[in-house]
């Protein structure tokens, strides 16, 4: 009685779709999307920032590994935008329950839901904005997206555990809780779920072509077209952005450090036994494009400096003036792989300045940010 007197005039929801069956049906897909994003996100993170004990064990195969995991990560994250909106629409009337807190247990449960929603919205929103390379915040995207991923995934697990009785009772159309609903609900719910599936299908079909090139023709909404760019390949970081100029690379020499250090001019490098590879640039923002590269095997350069392929790692230093990927660590597996090249040409032409002229790294199963451009120094470790 007392709570009814104190209760403000709250909205009343007559809609029949804001119920546990709809929350479970959409939640199943959202949960699956978050699980896939979490696992593929960890793969991406540890390929880019491995702890020292892992760096030399990271595998250079399969060639298409990072293309697959990061393509799936971005596609699933984009699908999660739709699923999260529908899920929050389904449960938002819960914001208006009165009294807002019934017990300590209930307060804790609501607090965990607040953390879940904040973390889920943060992950999906920052991922989406990162796709278009827009960073309107003062914190580092990678660190924040990675840390909050653990919070989001942990709070999804907690949420599923807390809601397990409702989830069990509404798991399918035939579950005990679902059967008790009025029959006419079924048609409305089917329409909502079909529309949600349709929206996920449209978002996927109009963006997945950025990594899955057989669908390149339907890639209408992805921020980057894999077909556009100098020499048939997009450029994420231009020479101008990296502070590299043609004048700056005049008289360029590759310095190779190690037990037997040496330096090579570009003509000398071109005169070494060459190698070719067809490898994709797989961008962390989700696009991937295959290209034909020619150059010199990194393992040959390392061997000549006294390194031992299979045992030696390398440190690659770029000419760029600033940037978090100016110095890159390359683990022993990548150094030893015969497909890992110091590339001098792209699709049959000398590298353009934006693609890393005079020389750049191209290696299999590796995030694009680690395919260092404007290589200036290679140190055998
Ligand atoms: C990122 C993932 C998710 C988010 C952001 C989310 C969000 C929410 C929110 C805000 C509520 C209302 C909580 C309350 O006030 O008590 C809720 C309820 C619920 N969720 Fe989730 N959820 C997620 C994943 C899931 C998953 C994976 C499932 C099940 C497979 C699920 C099933 C449910 C159920 C059954 C309810 C109760 C609905 C009711 O009693 O009317 N949710 N969810």
**Using a 6 Å cutoff on CB, does residue 116 contact ligand 1?**
yes
Rg (CA), the chain: 26
Q: Alpha-carbon torsion 154, 158, 159, 160, what sign?
A: positive
Site of tokens 């929103």: 125
Question: What is the Å distance from ligand 1's center to 31 Cα?
Answer: 10
pLDDT value, residue 226: 77
Find the mean pLDDT for residues 96-115.
94
Question: What is the Å distance from ligand 1's center to 234 Cα?
Answer: 40
Question: For the chain, what are the domain ranges?
Answer: 2-218, 230-380
Question: What are the pLDDT digits (tens) for 192-230?
Answer: 999 999 999 999 999 999 999 889 889 998 887 877 888
Residues of 102-118 as b/e, b for ≥16 C-beta within 10 angstroms?
eeeeeeebbebbebbbe
Query: How many Å apart are CA 94 and CA 87, to the nearest integer?
Result: 12
pLDDT value, residue 353: 97
Find the mean pLDDT for residues 324-348.
96
Question: Which range is least confidently modeled, 78-82, 121-125, 296-300, 323-327?
Answer: 323-327
Can you say whether residue 323 is alpha, beta or left, with left for phi > 0 and alpha for psi between -120 and 50 degrees?
left
Site of tokens 């190779």: 256
Q: What percent of the chain has pLDDT over 90?
A: 79
CATH architecture of structural domain 230-380: Alpha-Beta Complex (3.90)
Question: What are the pLDDT digits (tens) for 113-127?
Answer: 999 999 999 999 999
**Using a 6 Å cutoff on CB, does residue 17 contact ligand 1?**
no
Q: Distance from CA of residue 348 to its chain's centroid?
A: 30
Return the ligand 1 atom nearest residue 121 CA. 5
Question: Which range is least confidently modeled, 131-135, 161-165, 184-188, 200-204?
Answer: 184-188
**Using a 6 Å cutoff on CB, does residue 21 contact ligand 1?**
no
Q: How confident is the model at residue 175 (pLDDT cuts 50, 70, 90)?
A: confident
Q: How confident is the model at residue 5 (pLDDT cuts 50, 70, 90)?
A: low
| Cβ-proximal residues to 264 (8 Å cutoff; 6+ apart), any chain | 253, 254, 256, 272
Find the mean pLDDT for residues 353-372.
97
**Using a 6 Å cutoff on CB, does residue 156 contact ligand 1?**
yes
pLDDT value, residue 73: 97
Q: Measuring CA to CA, which residue among 293, 308, 328 is closest to residue 47?
A: 328
Give whole-number Cα distances, 302 to 259, 310, 332, 357, 358, in Å: 10, 11, 11, 21, 19
Q: How confident is the model at residue 363 (pLDDT cuts 50, 70, 90)?
A: very high
**Using a 6 Å cutoff on CB, does residue 113 contact ligand 1?**
yes
Q: Is the confidence at residue 303, as pLDDT, over 50?
A: yes
Q: What is the largest CA-CA distance in the chain?
A: 90
Question: What are the pLDDT digits (tens) for 240-280?
Answer: 999 999 999 999 999 999 999 999 999 999 999 999 999 99
pLDDT value, residue 183: 66
pLDDT value, residue 1: 44
Site of tokens 């009294």: 99
Query: How many Å apart are CA 65 and CA 54, to the nearest integer?
Result: 17
Query: How many Å apart are CA 358 and CA 269, to the nearest integer?
Result: 10
Site of tokens 């395919």: 371
Question: What are the pLDDT digits (tens) for 13-51?
Answer: 667 789 898 999 999 999 999 999 999 999 999 999 999
Q: Is the confidence at residue 3, as pLDDT, over 60?
A: no
pLDDT value, residue 2: 46
pLDDT value, residue 181: 61
Query: How many Å apart are CA 85 and CA 68, to the nearest integer?
Result: 26
Q: Is the confidence at residue 71, as pLDDT, over 50?
A: yes
Mean pLDDT of the chain: 92
SS (H, E, C) the chain: CHHHHHCCCCCCCCCCCCCHHHHHHHHHHHHHHHHHHHHHHHHHHHHHCCCHHHHCCCCCCCCCHHHHHHHHHHHHHHHHHHHHHHHHHHHHHHHHCCCCCCCHHHHHHHHHHHHHHHHHHHHHHHHHHHHCCCCCCCCCHHHHHHHHHHHHHHHHHHHHHHCHHHHHHCCCCCCHHHHCCCCHHHHHHHHHHHHHHHHHHHHHHCCHHHCCHHHHHHCCCCCCCCCCCHHHCCCCCCHHHHCCCCHHHCCCEEEEECCCCEEEEHHHHHCCCCEEEEEEEECCCCCEEEEEEEEEEHHHHHHHCCCCCCCCCEEEEECCCCCCCCEEEECHHHHHCCCCEEEEEECCEECCHHHCCCCEEECCCCEHHHCCCCEEEEEEC
pLDDT value, residue 321: 82
Q: Measuring CA to CA, which residue among 87, 164, 77 is closest to residue 128?
A: 77
**Using a 6 Å cutoff on CB, does residue 163 contact ligand 1?**
yes
Question: What are the pLDDT digits (tens) for 140-173?
Answer: 999 999 999 999 999 999 999 999 999 999 998 7
Q: Is the confidence at residue 110, as pLDDT, over 70?
A: yes
Burial class (CB in 10 A: 0-12, 13-18, 19+), 223: middle
The whole-model pTM stands at 0.92
Best residue among 163, 166, 178, 193 to mutate for probing ligand 1's pocket (most ligand atoms within 8 Å of CB) is 163
Q: Distance from CA of residue 35 to its chain's centroid?
A: 13
Q: Measuring CA to CA, which residue among 94, 226, 22 is closest to residue 218?
A: 226
């Amino acid at each position: 009685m007392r709570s009814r007197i104190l209760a403000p005039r709250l909205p009343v929801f007559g809609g029949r779709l804001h119920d546990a069956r709809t929350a479970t049906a959409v939640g199943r897909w959202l949960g699956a999307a978050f699980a896939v994003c979490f696992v593929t996100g960890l793969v991406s993170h540890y390929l880019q920032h491995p702890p020292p004990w892992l760096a030399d064990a990271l595998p250079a195969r399969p060639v298409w590994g990072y293309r697959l995991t990061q393509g799936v990560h971005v596609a699933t994250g984009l699908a999660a935008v739709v699923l999260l909106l529908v899920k929050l629409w389904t449960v938002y009337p819960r914001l208006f329950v009165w009294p807002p807190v019934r017990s300590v247990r209930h307060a804790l449960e609501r607090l965990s839901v607040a953390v879940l929603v904040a973390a889920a919205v943060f992950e999906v929103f920052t991922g989406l904005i990162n796709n278009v390379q827009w960073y309107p915040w003062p914190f580092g995207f990678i660190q924040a997206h990675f840390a909050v991923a653990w919070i989001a995934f942990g709070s999804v697990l907690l949420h599923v555990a807390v809601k397990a009785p409702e989830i069990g009772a509404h798991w399918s159309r035939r579950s005990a809780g679902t059967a008790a609903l009025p029959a006419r609900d079924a048609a409305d719910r089917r329409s909502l779920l079909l529309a949600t599936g349709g929206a996920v299908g449209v978002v996927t079909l109009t963006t997945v072509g950025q990594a899955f090139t057989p669908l390149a023709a339907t890639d209408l909404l992805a921020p980057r077209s894999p077909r556009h760019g100098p020499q048939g390949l997009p450029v994420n970081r231009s020479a101008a952005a990296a502070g590299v100029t043609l004048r700056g690379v005049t008289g360029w020499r590759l310095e190779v450090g190690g037990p037997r250090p040496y330096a090579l001019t570009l003509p000398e490098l071109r005169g070494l036994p060459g190698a070719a590879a067809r490898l994709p640039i797989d961008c962390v923002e989700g696009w991937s494009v295959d290209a034909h590269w020619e150059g010199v095997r990194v393992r040959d350069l390392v061997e000549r400096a006294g390194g031992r392929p299979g045992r030696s790692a390398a440190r690659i230093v770029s000419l760029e003036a600033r940037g978090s990927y100016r110095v890159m660590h390359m683990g022993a597996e990548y150094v030893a792989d015969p497909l890992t090249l110091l590339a001098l040409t792209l699709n049959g032409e000398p590298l353009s300045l934006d693609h890393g002229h005079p020389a750049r790294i191209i290696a299999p199963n590796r995030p694009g940010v680690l395919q260092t451009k404007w290589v200036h120094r290679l140190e055998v470790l």
